[in-house]
Amino acid sequence: MPAFVEAWPTQRGPQLRREASEHASSLRSRSCFDGVDSSYGTPLFHAVDSRPMILLNLVLGTLVTTVGFWILWNAASHVAVMGWVLVVSGFLWWRAKSVTEVWAWATLILGLESFAWPLQRMIQLKAVTEAPSQDEMGAMLSDIIMGLFFSVFWLSFSYGLFKWAWKAPGETEGGTIATKTVSRSHKRNKSR
């Protein structure tokens, strides 16, 4: 039987409760949601950016951007799609040093593809007819609104990932190291 169960009804009960409360408050102060040990300012966990993990994410990022390219140019030949795969994968291999950077660059490319989509649709529509019909104009307006919405979304997401990937070690969101929080019960016990 554990020692704290045997000692609970005796004189050591209040002392054990106080020790458990202090231990719980110290654990609460260390387990911040931002992944930083507040007492030291160091990460609680270290993401392993091993070469196989980066390669897996590079393949997935290339696949995602290729799907965006395929949607953008729905009549693209297989040679053009394969060329895009080689260009994007080579670019990601060259620029990305971590998994976060792989996805930052991939979402940046998706944002640029989303911005190019309404432009490509307008050029395509202009090549077919000189004066588009009312239905074609409605479709173009819908493409412009959706393209701009997704472009802003992916570019904002990319900005956040770049900001996260390139921040200095030990730097937190506010630019300061998080401080240790003390619970009320811990303060009350100290004052006694």
Dump the DSSP string for 82-119: HHHHHHHHHHHHHH-SSHHHHHHHHHHHHHHHHHHHHH
What does the alpha-carbon distance between residue 140 and residue 122 come to, in Å, rounded to a whole number? 7
What does the alpha-carbon distance between residue 162 and residue 165 come to, in Å, rounded to a whole number? 5
* This prediction's pTM: 0.63
Q: Which pLDDT does position 162 carry in this prediction? A: 94
What does the alpha-carbon distance between residue 152 and residue 165 come to, in Å, rounded to a whole number? 20
Distances (CA, A) of 108 to 55, 88, 127: 18, 12, 29
Neighbours of 118 (CB within 10 A): 20
Q: Which pLDDT does position 86 carry in this prediction? A: 97
Q: Which pLDDT does position 102 carry in this prediction? A: 95
Q: Which pLDDT does position 42 carry in this prediction? A: 53
Both tokens of residue 163? 């900001």
Residue spans of the chain under pLDDT 50: 1, 5-8, 28-39, 41, 44
pLDDT in tens, 66-84: 999 998 888 789 999 999 9
pLDDT in tens, 25-60: 555 444 444 444 444 545 545 556 788 999 999 999
Residue 69 CB contacts under 8 Å (≥ 6 apart), including other chains: 76, 81, 84, 113
